[in-house]
Amino acid sequence: MHVRPMLPSEVTSVDALARMTGQKLNIAEEQARTLSRFWVANAEEASTEPDAFLLVWVAADELHVISIGTRPSARRKGLAKALMGALFDYAKTLQSRLILLEVRRSNRAAAALYRSFGFSVARLRKGYYSDPEEDGIEMLVALDAQGRHIAMPDEVSGLEV
C-alpha cells in the first residue's frame, strides 16, 4: 500500500474515481483552491491510477474532510484507514486543533472508521445529503499541541454510529 499527495497529472484519474464512488466533485476546481489538500492511495505501489483519494480543506487551525472515496474493487483493503493516518500526520505538522467531517447516517462502515480514529458525534444534520436525501452526522476530533487526541463525549446521544 502506498499513500502520497496527489500529483497534478492525476486530476483526471481522481475525478473519474470520485464519480465512480458517487461523489459530485470537480477535482480540477478543488485542486485550484489554496485551501485544498489531496492525498491518494494505491493498493499496489506499481498501480498506474489511484485506488482511493482524500480531499481536505485547511481552515485556520482546523482540517475539514470534504471527501474520501475508494474504488469499489479496492475496498476493505485499508486504503481509507491509511489515508486517514496520513491526515492525522498532516494535522500534527500543522498543529491543527480540530478535524471535522460529515458522514451519511447509513454509512456505518465509514462511521466506524472515524470512531477508530477518535472522532465523536458533534451534531445531527437533518436532510444534509441529497440524492438520496439522508441525515448527516457531523463528527470531530480535537487534538492537543502535540497532535494527540483529546477525548470528547458525543454531543448527541442515542445515535447508532
Backbone angles phi, psi at 25, to 5 degrees: -125, 155
Q: What is the mean pLDDT of the chain?
A: 93
User: pLDDT tens-digit profile of 55-85?
Assistant: 999 999 999 999 999 999 999 999 999 999 9
Give me the long-range contacts of 110-115 (CB less than 8 A, separation at least 24).
110/68, 110/80, 111/137, 111/139, 111/161, 113/80, 113/81, 113/84, 114/84, 114/139, 115/161
pLDDT of amino acid 46: 79
For residues 15 and 61, membership in a common domain is answered with: yes
Kindly state the average pLDDT of the residues 110-124.
94
Q: How confident is the model at residue 161 (pLDDT cuts 50, 70, 90)?
A: low
Q: Which residues contact 103 (CB under 8 A, 6 or more apart)?
A: 110, 111, 114, 136, 137, 139, 161
For residues 85 and 15, membership in a common domain is answered with: yes
Contact between 91 and 99 (Cβ < 8 Å): yes
- Residues of the domain holding 153: 105-161
User: pLDDT tens-digit profile of 137-154?
Assistant: 999 999 999 999 998 988
**Is pLDDT of 159 > 80?**
no
User: pLDDT tens-digit profile of 22-60?
Assistant: 898 999 999 999 999 999 999 987 788 999 999 999 999
For residues 42 and 63, membership in a common domain is answered with: yes
pLDDT of amino acid 106: 92
Kindly state the average pLDDT of the residues 103-110.
92
For residues 86 and 34, membership in a common domain is answered with: yes
Distance CA 68, CA 94 (A): 20
For residues 8 and 73, membership in a common domain is answered with: yes
Grid look-up 454531543 returns 155
Q: What is the CATH number of the domain that holds 50?
A: 3.40.630.30
For residues 63 and 126, membership in a common domain is answered with: no
Q: Find the DSSP H helices in 71-127.
A: 79-94, 108-116
Q: Say how many domains are in the chain.
A: 2
For residues 86 and 64, membership in a common domain is answered with: yes
HSE-up of residue 4 (Cα within 13 Å, Cβ side)? 13
For residues 53 and 74, membership in a common domain is answered with: yes
Q: What is the pTM for the complete model shown? A: 0.92
For residues 12 and 78, membership in a common domain is answered with: yes
Tell me the residue type at 3. V
Determine the straight-line distance between the first and last CA of the chain, rounded to whole angstroms: 28
Q: Which residues contact 55 (CB under 8 A, 6 or more apart)?
A: 25, 30, 36, 37, 38, 65, 66, 67, 68
Q: How confident is the model at residue 131 (pLDDT cuts 50, 70, 90)?
A: confident
Kindly state the average pLDDT of the residues 92-103.
96
For residues 132 and 72, membership in a common domain is answered with: no
pLDDT of amino acid 1: 87
% of the chain exceeding 90 in pLDDT: 82
For residues 65 and 117, membership in a common domain is answered with: no
pLDDT of amino acid 62: 97
Kindly state the average pLDDT of the residues 7-36.
94
Grid look-up 480543506 returns 57
Domain final residue, candidates 96, 124, 139: 96
For residues 81 and 54, membership in a common domain is answered with: yes
